[in-house]
Amino acid sequence: MNAGYEQSGVTITTDLAPLARRAARVVLVDGQGRVLLLRHEDSRNDPHWQPPGGGLETGETFREAALREMAEELGRTDITVGPLLWEWEHDFYYGRRVVRQYERAFLALTDRLELGDGLESAHAADGIVEHRWWDQAALASCPEDVWPPELPNLIHDLAERDPSKAPLRLPFRAARLRAVSDS
């Protein structure tokens, strides 16, 4: 018998070990210090903003995945991925399972603010509903979840942080089941 939560007629399994996933993200910063975030919506996690990126494919390094994700999510192949900023382990819901994701976030700088063309189907498949360039003040007052939760402070500290230092290790974050109304 599987233990779990019933949500909208779907059981979220909780007695199995979380699925392990590795992912890469890119903290893309423009010349004004703004950061590009993507807004994700799905039925199991609260809407949230996070840097572009995603899971590693078989045989891929974190840096290779970061470059591939920039092409897939932003339509950009002109981005140079810079230093590793932080590592973060967190849980989230994907389908009926909890996923434990270990991700690395890299810094990249750009002067070009527009995304490529033809991204609608890729965004729809990933639950990406919006993109936005955030300045520090707006990000600090964002009313929705930001992943990782420390992101506003991390972006604020980017200008003062020596990128040659060891990456930060962010605190673990457990998954939270989104409250969904059946009405």
Q: What is the mean pLDDT of the chain?
A: 86
Q: Domains plus CATH for the chain?
A: 4-169 (3.90.79.10)
Segment 64-107, tens digit of pLDDT: 999 999 999 999 999 999 999 999 999 988 877 899 999 999 99
The yes-or-no verdict on residue 10 having pLDDT over 80 is no
What type of residue sits at position 132?
R
β-sheet bridge partners, residue 25: 53, 105
- The C-alpha angle 170, 152, 128, rounded to 5 degrees, equals 90
Segment 40-58, tens digit of pLDDT: 997 677 889 999 999 999 9
Segment 152-167, tens digit of pLDDT: 999 989 878 887 788 9
Residue 70 pLDDT = 95
pTM of this structure: 0.85
Residue 13 pLDDT = 53
For residue 89, give the nearest of 1, 170, 177 by alpha carbon: 170
Question: Number of C-alpha atoms within 13 angstroms, CB side, residue 168?
Answer: 20
For residue 72, give the nearest of 38, 32, 47, 108 by alpha carbon: 38
